[in-house]
Amino acid sequence: MAFVLSEYAASKHMEYRILSLNDTPDLHRMRVGEREFVYTGAARGKARFVTTAMRAARRRPKIVLAAHPNLAPIARAMQALAPRMKSIVCTHGVEVWEELSPLRRRALRHASLVLAPSRATADFLVSLQGVAPERIRVLPWALDPDFETQSGGTATAKVPADFPAGRVILTVGRWLTTERYKGMDTLIMTLPRLLQHWTDLQLAVVGTGDDREWLENLARECGVQNHVHFLTGLSYAELSATYAACEMFALPSRGEGFGFVYLEAMARGKPVIGGAHGGAPEIIQDGVTGYLVQHGDTVQLATSINALLANPEAAKQMGAKGRERVEREFRFSTFAKAFKKILRESCES
């Protein structure tokens, strides 16, 4: 989004300012493709962040973009100093699937526009946060603008040394106690049923977080600890190699506001299994590019995995259709065009 903002500003001969809460106050430079943009941070200092934002508001900006709903109150406060300013607030998923605090909810309702990455998240904005439907715009995320460059070495990149041999199911996501909704435990509990027929089946779990010990204990309790492999600290090239080496991707989550990992797996021609909840059904076409399963349903999950293992040619065709869909609907150029249209309409109004 920062890249598109900087590109749009340059095309209109406008100035832009990107402020990060967590980065240091130094001037940072980031390059995406051939364009470089700069930004500064507040070193996790909320008071500094707010002060800098209010100082920027005195310059009467046309638009302020808050990249998270928790920042919506700051955007609203800036409008007190710049009444004609338009405010756009980005939402991502689960953070708005439960009722926000009254302050944040009011600020979200008063934003000029609220962006949602999926129709499912947009529905929560209306039903739980009380945002008027006409103030919401669904803007699906897309692959990284440098995706082709970053993953171009996938064919020659090596998988991590501890990547398993055999028929591999890959899953990628954070291992956090607060994010058990992602369904990695369901994948582990499904393995005993699958291993009765596919003895060389392996589960590669990529991520990091405080819940690893719980997942490892679960694998031992299920008697599948030798078939579950935890991979952490991977480089982008190594992650790309794991996508290329796996047979399928699975994340039977009930809480994905969108699901970047599904896109990354589909872009590499892999069939995907996701939860029949949230934003996943807007990415995965059930029975076409993969399968959708109910969260926590080990029988349905095992049936879907078994179908892909039993018919590799059909699985390959699903992966090909998934790649075609990514090319057609989820390239960065598609996202950039849609986002620039939103910026243009906001400026002109």
Question: 71-77: long-range contacts (C-beta < 8 A, 24 or more apart)?
Answer: 72/104, 72/107, 72/108, 72/111, 73/103, 73/104, 73/107, 74/49, 74/50, 75/107, 75/111, 76/106, 76/107, 76/110, 76/111, 77/50, 77/53
**In degrees to the nearest 10, what's the CA dihedral of 232, 233, 234, 235?**
170
**b/e map of 180-189 (b: 16 or more CB within 10 Å)?**
bbbbbbbbbb
Q: Where do you find CATH 3.40.50.2000 in the chain?
A: 2-142+332-348, 147-328
Distances (CA, A) of 277 to 158, 185, 318, 348: 34, 17, 20, 37
pLDDT for residue 186: 97
Tell me the CATH number of domain 2-142+332-348, given options 3.30.1490.20, 3.40.50.2000, 3.40.50.300, 3.30.1060.10: 3.40.50.2000
- Total count of residues recorded for the chain: 349
Residue partners of 80: CB distance under 8 A and separation at least 6? 57
Give the fold, CATH level 3, of 147-328: Rossmann fold (3.40.50)
pLDDT for residue 151: 55
Distance between CA 151 and CA 348 in Å, rounded? Answer: 38
Instruction: Decide if 100 contacts 111 (C-beta within 8 A).
Output: no
Mean pLDDT per 10-residue interval, the chain, length 349 residues: 91 93 93 84 95 95 96 96 96 93 97 96 96 97 74 64 95 93 96 97 97 97 98 90 95 91 95 95 97 96 98 97 95 94 90
Tell which residue, 149, 81, 118, has the closest CA to residue 280.
118
CA torsion through residues 150, 152, 153, 158, sign: positive
